[in-house]
Amino acid sequence: MTVGNYIREKRLDIGILQKELAEKCDVSVQTINTIENDKSKPSVTTLRRIAQVLSVDYFVLRRILKEGVVYDAKDYQSSS
């Protein structure tokens, strides 16, 4: 699974639109769209913001981005 697919799944799981995620991450909708469609990679800052909004561990997203590795998401729910 790609980081874009993972982000899309998590966004849909919590029921927010790309527009809402973009606003909460202080980026454009186009940025979220290109990340979710694997047309671009998020910056470290954007990836951290996405992780916070989606309540997932930043290092999980980073690992998926680098290695395409996905673990059981419930094991990596952020407590913040």
Asked if residue 60 belongs to a domain, the reply is yes
Asked if residue 75 belongs to a domain, the reply is no
Summarize pLDDT for 24-40 with one digit per residue, the tens. 999 999 999 999 999 99
In this structure, what CATH number is given to the domain that contains residue 58?
Answer: 1.10.260.40
Asked if residue 22 belongs to a domain, the reply is yes
d(CA 61, CA 3): 6
Tell me what the pLDDT averaged over the chain comes to.
Answer: 89
Asked if residue 17 belongs to a domain, the reply is yes
DSSP letter at 21 equals H
Decide: 22 and 28 in contact? Cβ < 8 Å: yes
How many structural domains are present in the chain? 1
Q: pTM to 2 decimals?
A: 0.84
Query: For position 71, what pLDDT does the model report?
Result: 60
Domain containing 28 equals 3-67
Asked if residue 37 belongs to a domain, the reply is yes
